[in-house]
Amino acid sequence: MTRSLILAGVGGQGTILASNILAQGLINQGYDVKMSEIHGMAQRGGSVNTQIRFGKKVYSPMIASGEADLILAFEKVEAVRYLNYLKPGGTLIVNDYEIYSTTVLTGQEKYPTDVLDKLKDTIENLFVIPAAKIAKDLGNIKAQNMVLLGAAVKALGIVVDTNWQDVIMAYLPERYHNVNIRAFKEGIEAV
Amino acid sequence: MKKILTGNEAIARGAYEAGCQVAAAYPGTPSTEILENMASYKEIYSQWSVNEKVALEVAGGAAIAGARALCAMKHVGLNVAADPLFTLAYTGINGGLVVVTADDPGLHSSQNEQDNRYYALHAKIPMLEPSDSQECLDYIKYAFQLSEDFDIPVLFRVTTRVCHSKSLVTLGQRQDVRVKEYKKDVKKYCMIPGFAKFRHPVLEKKLKKLRELSNESPLNQIIWGDRKIGIITSGISYQHAREVMGDNASYLKIGLSYPLPDKLIREFAQRVEKLYVVEENDPYIENFVKSLGLDCIGKDAFPICGELNPEIVQRVLVPEKEQKTYCVDVQVPARPPVLCAGCPHRGIFYALKKYKDAVVTGDIGCYSLGILPPLSVTDTLICMGAGISAGIGFEKAFLQGDKDTKVFGVIGDSTFFHSGITSLIDAVYNNSKLAIIILDNRTTAMTGHQENPGTGKTLDGDISPVIDIKEIVRAVGVKPENILVVDPYDLVQTQEAVDKAYEAVEPFVIIAKRPCALLKEVQKQRAKLKCAINQEKCTKCKVCLRLGCPAIAFKEGVMTIDETACNGCTLCMQVCRFGAIERMSK
């Protein structure tokens, strides 16, 4: 059976790197993997999302609404933006982190204050993770993507199927190995 | 060996394996990474050209000279390159020539969603459409062979989802191909009317043979499943349809989509009960199927506008299937792309805001974001070069209407080299009093920092002469006193230049020179430069918010600057009337 994941965040949060590592780990397990992302304008502080599908044989790289087994949201309102993709009973992992868009910064719109409460009321399989705080405490807030990756790997039940540490190291310069691997492990613990 | 590759990486790999020797392109989403990856293969000579027309002429010349050549561009780039394309169909080639067009259904990063499949029909050249990364690699090899077998350029049509999605690819070895011998043949390669009229029937003959080939090509194949529903499809649409229907339908998957396979389509149509055509954007296949007198369901059920996806396909083909999901009652704020913190374009747009009566014609690049609030200065955005030329038109129209509205034309550095120089000459030649602002951020930023003639480096990273924009402006006849070079981080200097340009009655050029804040070396240099709010002095007047800088926020009643995003450009400090923003050096 094909499983589908969405990684959603804001340009600059490292969603694409996390997606690449996740996809490579799945390939190492022998899955057929397809992954779809959008480049270009979105890089400039816009909303970004990557879709990953894996199974025995995958055709479309895109996910229909109500078909995602897991959504990994790097930012709170981004979780809501892509929520319609989540399958009934699917898992939602949310980074407890806010990034204001320019429409909020300039007062055209308000950043909603009750996102987490509303998600808690609605989603059975919800994990709220302070990934940014965990990464900051480890010494580099940019490693929040690895905290979230660890959480996703745990939620998907594929922690032991791949040597994730090796995959992470293959994608990052050596000086960042330590903090990112520690971040990944904390993510596993958080779920 | 299997590797996960994007379609663009696979196209580059396929060209490498096919023995491609020369490649040229102008960057444009979603095609940019094709040439970036070609450059990683040292056996191929790869270059950024100044625009798509030049790129295709370079590749076309290389092909006539005997090399296997590839040219890549986004869909609108083919409009620019259409001129050589149509005539290269007449001349034919010598070494294989493959022209990649990367279309953008859904306009993820484009000004329109034109369907370039019509170019194959219009220019009379064969077209291939891969549906995933493996096919990108395999079809490119096939494309070079087809090009040489039929002595014709081949159009290779991909879309954003094929270019930017990743799937597994089996890699092969590079084919040993030599640059063919070039023989002078003016009747074939010099398209004066007397020779060209004899090349047209030659082309028609090739097309006749290609029509036969299309019916037999392994790229056009029937995949039998349940015969109640038959689906004719190509490219990414095939993957969506197969995902939704699996074995519950039969498919005619079209990989060689010009000329379309008439016999195969008839055969398929006869053997299924209900025939659908699933394709993105225009009814290109559908119209052909109907011209054969066959009944099919296409755009009556599927949208012409926007991108297709499995969900849309499912709604049409399996309407009974319910899609359940979650919904929460939260108003999600929009998150449009914005000029980055420290973006050098911001200073110019802020200075232009003063002139509410002026018209600003814009162009293609990051600075298109000057359209959006809170800057909101740009009036038009059409295509590359129009930032200047449409401005000339505005000014002439206003004159005809007895109005002296000031017109500013805004264009980037790479875009200026692409199509702005001819427009600037037009402005000077026709005594326009257009004020032109060239935003020289020393790179092609929007597509991810490609080199251009102003950066002093080629695609390979080799040193090349830096082409000086100011010298070009002077050389085409703008008077030296009407040329100002400013630092857009200096608001006083920038505002003075814009004020002067506003008053000018002759062609006037401001060159705003400051490298893109995201360039690695700039980030390194400015890593420790930050601005911070002195909360005691801040009156919360929010003037700084009018800059639209994503680092400045008004959160929980307090004005803040995000120090991880700030690069110390000091624009906010310069607009603050209370001295409440201070520069810090960490």
Q: Are B454 and B440 in contact (CB under 8 A)?
A: yes
Q: Residue B367 pLDDT more than 90?
A: yes
Please report residues of B whose CB lies closer than 8 A to that of A56: none
Report the DSSP pairing between strands B558-561 and B552-555: antiparallel
B327 in any annotated domain:
no
Q: Where would I find the beta strands (DSSP E) of A11-112?
A: 32-37, 47-55, 68-73, 86-95
User: Cβ A103–B336 below 8 Å, yes or no?
Assistant: yes
B129 in any annotated domain:
yes
Token digits of residue B293 = 């007198």
Confidence of residue B556 (pLDDT cuts 50, 70, 90): confident
User: Are B569 and B545 found together in one domain?
Assistant: yes
Confidence of residue A42 (pLDDT cuts 50, 70, 90): low
SS3 B566: coil
Contacts of B264 (CB under 8 A, 6+ apart): B214, B215, B220, B222, B252
Token digits of residue B8 = 């663009």
User: Are B51 and B190 found together in one domain?
Assistant: yes
Question: Number of CB pairs < 8 Å for A and B?
Answer: 192
Confidence of residue B310 (pLDDT cuts 50, 70, 90): very high
User: Cβ A43–B334 below 8 Å, yes or no?
Assistant: no
* Domain count along chain A: 1
Confidence of residue B338 (pLDDT cuts 50, 70, 90): confident
The pLDDT of B125-147, averaged and rounded, is 98
Q: Residue B585 pLDDT more than 90?
A: no
B19 C-beta neighbours (distance < 10 Å), count = 20
CATH code, A147: 3.40.920.10
User: Are B105 and B121 found together in one domain?
Assistant: yes
Sheet holding B508-513, edge to edge: B359-361, B407-412, B435-440, B508-513, B483-486
Give the gap in angstroms from C-alpha B17 to the nearest C-alpha of chain A. 23
Q: How high is the mean pLDDT of chain B? A: 96
User: Cβ A105–B327 below 8 Å, yes or no?
Assistant: no
Give the gap in angstroms from C-alpha A47 to the nearest C-alpha of chain B. 6
pLDDT tens string A112-125:
999 999 999 999 99
The pLDDT of B262-283, averaged and rounded, is 98
User: Are B112 and B206 found together in one domain?
Assistant: yes
Q: Residue A51 pLDDT more than 70?
A: yes
User: Are B472 and B581 found together in one domain?
Assistant: no
User: Are B310 and B455 found together in one domain?
Assistant: no
Confidence of residue B373 (pLDDT cuts 50, 70, 90): confident
User: Are B239 and B94 found together in one domain?
Assistant: no
Q: How far is CA B256 from the centre of its chain?
A: 24
What is the model's pLDDT at position A44? 62
The region of weakest confidence among B269-273, B291-295, B373-377, B468-472 is: B373-377
| A58 Cβ under 8 Å from any chain B Cβ | yes
Percent of chain B with pLDDT over 70: 100
Domain that holds residue A55: 3-190
Please report residues of A whose CB lies closer than 8 A to that of B169: none
User: Cβ B164–A115 below 8 Å, yes or no?
Assistant: no
User: Are B98 and B196 found together in one domain?
Assistant: yes
SS3 B144: helix
* Domain count along chain B: 4
| A56 Cβ under 8 Å from any chain B Cβ | no
What is the model's pLDDT at position A107? 78
Question: Closest Cα partner for B377 from B394, B399, B398, B354?
Answer: B354
Q: Residue A83 pLDDT more than 90?
A: yes
Question: Closest Cα partner for A35 from A60, A14, A13?
Answer: A60
B324 in any annotated domain:
no
pLDDT tens string A179-190:
999 999 999 999
Q: Residue A43 pLDDT more than 70?
A: no
User: Cβ B336–A87 below 8 Å, yes or no?
Assistant: no
Q: Which residue has the tokens 């909360």?
A: B535
* B contact test, residue of A3, A20, A41, A136 with most B CBs within 10 A: A41
Calpha distance B407→B357 (Å, rounded): 9
Minimal-distance CA residue of chain A relative to B558: A105
pLDDT tens string B71-124:
999 999 999 999 999 999 999 999 999 999 999 999 999 999 999 999 999 999
CATH code, B567: 3.30.70.20
Name residue A108's amino acid: Q
The pLDDT of B576-585, averaged and rounded, is 93
Calpha distance B461→B251 (Å, rounded): 46
The pLDDT of B392-406, averaged and rounded, is 97
What is the model's pLDDT at position B564? 83
Confidence of residue A111 (pLDDT cuts 50, 70, 90): very high
Q: Residue A40 pLDDT more than 60?
A: no
| A140 Cβ under 8 Å from any chain B Cβ | no
B312 in any annotated domain:
yes
Token digits of residue B390 = 């449409």
Calpha distance A48→A58 (Å, rounded): 23
Q: Residue A47 pLDDT more than 70?
A: yes
The pLDDT of A51-56, averaged and rounded, is 97
What ranges in chain A are assigned the alpha helix state H? 15-28, 76-81, 102-105, 115-122, 131-138, 144-155, 164-171, 177-190
What is the model's pLDDT at position A37? 87
Calpha distance A35→A20 (Å, rounded): 9
Calpha distance B565→B586 (Å, rounded): 14
CATH code, B313: 3.40.50.920
Element (H, E) at B196: helix B193-216
* B contact test, residue of A29, A49, A62 with most B CBs within 10 A: A62
Q: Are B187 and B198 in contact (CB under 8 A)?
A: yes
The pLDDT of B567-580, averaged and rounded, is 97
Contacts of B138 (CB under 8 A, 6+ apart): B14, B130
The pLDDT of B139-158, averaged and rounded, is 98
Question: Closest Cα partner for B348 from B418, B413, B424?
Answer: B413
B271 C-beta neighbours (distance < 10 Å), count = 13
What is the model's pLDDT at position B63? 98
Q: How far is CA A70 from the centre of its chain?
A: 9
Token digits of residue B278 = 């699933």
CATH code, B87: 3.40.50.970
Boundary (domain end) residue, out of B188, B216, B244: B216
Token digits of residue A186 = 């904390």
Calpha distance A87→A70 (Å, rounded): 8
Question: Closest Cα partner for B4 from B167, B138, B136?
Answer: B167
Beta bridge partners of A126: A92
Q: Looking at the partner chain, which of A23, A40, A67 has a beta carbon nearest the beta carbon of B166?
A: A23
pLDDT tens string B200-259:
999 999 999 999 999 999 999 999 999 999 999 999 999 999 999 999 999 999 999 999
What is the model's pLDDT at position A39? 60
The pLDDT of B260-273, averaged and rounded, is 98
Can you tell me the ipTM of this complex? 0.94
Token digits of residue B317 = 């083909």
Boundary (domain end) residue, out of B475, B505, B522: B522
B331 in any annotated domain:
no
User: Cβ A41–B108 below 8 Å, yes or no?
Assistant: yes
B199 in any annotated domain:
yes
B335 in any annotated domain:
no
Domain that holds residue B565: 526-585
User: Are B268 and B198 found together in one domain?
Assistant: no
Q: Which residue has the tokens 């960057």?
A: B27
Distances (CA, A) of B149 to B117, B154, B206, B209: 22, 11, 10, 11
Q: Are A8 and A74 in contact (CB under 8 A)?
A: yes
Calpha distance B156→B158 (Å, rounded): 7
User: Are B130 and B247 found together in one domain?
Assistant: no
pLDDT tens string A129-168:
999 999 999 999 999 999 999 999 999 999 988 899 999 9
User: Cβ B553–A100 below 8 Å, yes or no?
Assistant: yes
User: Are B417 and B483 found together in one domain?
Assistant: yes
Calpha distance A32→A23 (Å, rounded): 10
Please report residues of A whose CB lies closer than 8 A to that of B339: 44
| A170 Cβ under 8 Å from any chain B Cβ | no
User: Are B71 and B120 found together in one domain?
Assistant: yes
